[in-house]
A and B are shown apart, each in its own frame.
Chain A
Amino acid sequence: MTRDKADAANRPDGRTAAESEPGSLRLVATLAIAGLLSGVAIIGIFEVTLETITANRARELREAVFKVLPGVELMQKLIYKENKLIATNEQEQDELPIYGGYDSEGQFIGYAIPGEGPGFQDTIKILYGYKADTRKIVGMEVLDSRETPGLGDKIYKDASFVANFTNLSVEPEIIAVKKGKKSAPNEIDAITGATISSKAIVKIINNTNQIWLSNLPEPGQEPELLVVEEESAADTGRGE
């Protein structure tokens, strides 16, 4: 640090006399050019990485859907529009999609529903698989969370907690109970030391269920898998 001070002392004003009073035009021009170049650089890197980033996100989502709905081979985005759940492949803004899971013959298996809500530190985003015929949750995956490492992050690191959600009744609603006290099909064992995070997951699922379950069509009348062209089959399905 002493060296830096010495450096500063050598050139107290930092610039030579000729440059000491640049006009304001020059100052504006310098910053404008700097901003312009910076903008070009940022757009460049954005364009270059956009494809990989979108692909990564789509892959993560697809993997999550297949994980929360066992036996699913194909998925289809579903949106709620004009009081009906319809299948779509369009990119639409302001629409909350859920995902339908189908087996390799196109038979409907269940829904993968994304939900989010406040956790201990930040918003938790999850995806859970729901089967309408049995009215049960069959799997849960945390997509995004910032829970305390070593405690709250057990909501996705602790296999026994995640296993709570493989056969869970949603009626009347899910309740988190103390570890080992689970006695009813709608109860889960909370994580010791991470009660807030465990309850947060339960609350997210209950709230999301309230939004979606009454809007889902009768079992047997689910939207059908959109016929996909041969080339794009890999985009919606697991690929060959």
Chain B
Amino acid sequence: MYVAVKGGEQAIDNAHLLLARDRRGNPAIPELSIDQIREQMTLAIARVMAEGSLYEPDLAALAVKQARGDLIEAIFLLRAFRTTLPRFGDCVPMETDGMSIRRRISAVFKDLPGGQILGPTFDYTHRLLDPELAIADDARPCPVVLNEGAEPVAAPHILQILDREGLVEAPLNGADAGVEEDLTRTPLDFPACRELRLQALARGDEGFLLALGYSTQRGYGRTHPFAGEIRIGEVELSFAPPELGFDVPLGAVTITECEMVNQFRGSETQAPKFTRGYGCVFGQSERKAMSMALVDRALRANELGESSGVPAQDEEFVLSHCDNVQATGFVEHLKLPHYVDFQAELALLRQLREDWSARRANKQSADNGAAEKQEEAAK
């Protein structure tokens, strides 16, 4: 019985031991190192860092190992650590224009300044299981990439090209907006500004955002999206201590950025323009960045006067349910004992059933009485 009257403490200790044993698996198989996880499970690390809201590949790798590969559990581990970290200040808003690009594509132009750069993508792989990979072989030569080492090219954002012609609305500018609120430091209230929504989406669950983004494509809040540009690469971050008066570089982070071009819109006073949806996440994760951009655009329905009440447009619904650490905690808390409430419900249900039977019995005897009277009368 898991709610033993006594012995809960020992049961918990034992559960921890069993967990540690299962985490290790067969001891005849070499144990995974943090380095191996960090280098070879990069996309898992990326997701854990993105939804854990902490760019720290080593700790993310440790979390993945400790969580036995359960990424939501790993995200939770990283979050619980992050929340204890002191805040020194805000970094200078990062400039994705200056990204050193590893991948950059646009679906809206055939060719463009800076070119289409496919980079490391699954996109054109055939999804056939590769038997060669089944054998771990330290002697396998590292793949040689064609054109490696070519000069990096300047790659302006494609939407800037449209913007110059006035064909698309101006981008949201974090530096101008002066985003002061931090979702993790102030409780969210509704309606939330777009900056706060983006904060929530950036750490939101990939699967949840994927499903919501997908729903807008299937007609639940259609936004006519085009993948204006998706870019992946490294961006420098810096910090400007007020007492120094200049920026101090902090290092580089890998990010994926997605700019969607959506449904145009105009008014009496404004010529029609395309609108935008924006997505940006730590690490390489196009699925997440694209989904985020779709949902960001859908959540602007009120602002753009196109609200139709579908889930992806519903700010309270989306923001209250996109956090997988909150969601998994509350869903799984149903495992905790609830026998007191169940007991109270049982007592109530028994009482309601007794009352119901009594009413029915009364009614039946009343009916019988009436029937007998009728019979009497008929005689």
A, B from the same assembly: no
